[in-house]
Amino acid sequence: MNTARRTSGTTVAAHAVLILYTIIALFPVFVILINSFKDRRAIFRDPLGLPNAETFSLIGYETVLKQGDFFLYFQNSMIVTVVSLFLILLFGAMAAFALAEYGFRGNTLMGLYLALGIMIPIRIGTVAILEMMVSTGLVNTLTALILVYTAQGLPLAVFILSEFMKGVSDDLKNAGRIDGLSEYKIFFRLVLPLVRPAMATVAVFNMIPIWNDLWFPLILAPAEEVKTLTLGSQVFIGQFVTDWNAVLSALSMAILPVMILYVIFSRQLIRGITSGAVK
């Protein structure tokens, strides 16, 4: 009896703490979203009230869509993120396969070389990256961003994927070899399908930092036609500081795509983190 009561007391306390923290985590997002649908007067008079028939207004969204080219920004972010992820997964899996499958000389050394980038942030090399992109004419192109994010994502991808590839059964690969499959076919047809869960983990880990990055778009691709959504909203909001409707709507529009991605991939992301892939 006594223990039961104590347990339920602990449970209530646990829920109370978690609910409190959930409110702290979600409150700012909630405030931004509800106010983006209100007219200017209601934003200031009653910041915490939900939009109702009287205060509902889409004026902010109209300004945003008229002034900023948010569809272009969105498209740029999409291209950069998708192409970078594709290259990280393809190149990363190929290198991981080479390291996991073949005992060539310098294998360990190559593994260590590729792992260097896990701990050293690529931003340290920004000055030389910028000079390189300027001299190759890649500055203000999406290619520059894709190259940088691919290089940034590869070390962790190789590390995680080669751990998984070591677990693929040798019998399967040797059976393929006896059937006369080339090493390339063994990789693409037999091994890649088996490590798909690990590839998904790598993809989800890389997706959010690439989508959200401000530093490289700001430095390598600040031109209007190659702005990403993150940089685009930063610049837009900077210009419209006093137009609260526009700022709130721009923020909401920047939140939306990430939230959709999160809803789709959250199970994968959380499973990836909790499965210890980062260790």
Partner 1 sequence: MTSPTKAGIRWHIVVFLAPAVLVYTAVMIYPLFATLRLSFYSEVDQNRLWVGLQNFRTLFGDAIWSEQFWNALANNAWFFLIHMLVQNPIGIALAAILSSPRLRFSAFYRSAIFIPTILSFVIVGFAWKLILSPIWGIAPGLLDAIGLKFLYQPWLGKEEYALTTLSLVSVWQYVGIPMMLIYAALLSIPDDILEAGECDGITGMAAFWKIKLPLILPSIGIISILTFVANFNAFDLIYAAQGALAGPDFSTDILGTFMYRTFFGFQLQLGDPHMGSTIASAMFVIILIGVCLYLFGIQRRLRNYQF
Q: How many CA atoms lie within 13 A of 77 on its CB side?
A: 24
The owner of tokens 């209601």 is: 42
Q: How many residues bind partner 1 (CB under 8 A)?
A: 97
The closest of 86, 85, 99 to 164, measured between CA atoms, is 99
Lookup: tokens for 198: 């690990």
**Shortest spacing between CB 26 and partner 1, in angstroms:** 6
Q: What is the DSSP letter of 138?
A: -
Looking at this protein, which amino acid is placed at residue 211?
W
Judged by CB under 8 A, the chain residues 104 through 163 that form the site for partner 1 are 104-105, 110, 113-114, 116-117, 119-132, 147-148, 150-152, 154-155, 158
Give 59 or 122: the residue with its C-beta nearer to partner 1.
Answer: 122
- The whole-angstrom separation of Cα 258 and Cα 207 is 10
> Which window, 50-58, 59-67, 83-91, 195-203, contacts partner 1 (CB under 8 A)?
83-91
Give 53 or 240: the residue with its C-beta nearer to partner 1.
Answer: 240
**Shortest spacing between CB 190 and partner 1, in angstroms:** 14
Q: Is residue 41 part of the contact set for partner 1 (CB under 8 A)? A: no
User: Interface mask (CB under 8 A) for partner 1, residues 250-269, using x and -?
Assistant: -x--xx--xx-xx---x--x
Q: Is residue 247 part of the contact set for partner 1 (CB under 8 A)? A: yes
Q: What is the DSSP letter of 38?
A: B
Lookup: tokens for 6: 């104590």
Q: Is residue 22 part of the contact set for partner 1 (CB under 8 A)? A: yes
**Other C-beta atoms lying within 10 Å of the C-beta of residue 170:** 8
Give 95 or 160: the residue with its C-beta nearer to partner 1.
Answer: 95
Which of 4, 48, 53, 109 contacts partner 1 by CB under 8 A? 48
* Cα-Cα-Cα-Cα dihedral sign, residues 203, 209, 212, 216: negative
Q: How many residues does the chain have?
A: 279
**Shortest spacing between CB 152 and partner 1, in angstroms:** 7
Judged by CB under 8 A, the chain residues 196 through 235 that form the site for partner 1 are 208, 211-215, 218-219, 230, 233-234
**Other C-beta atoms lying within 10 Å of the C-beta of residue 80:** 26
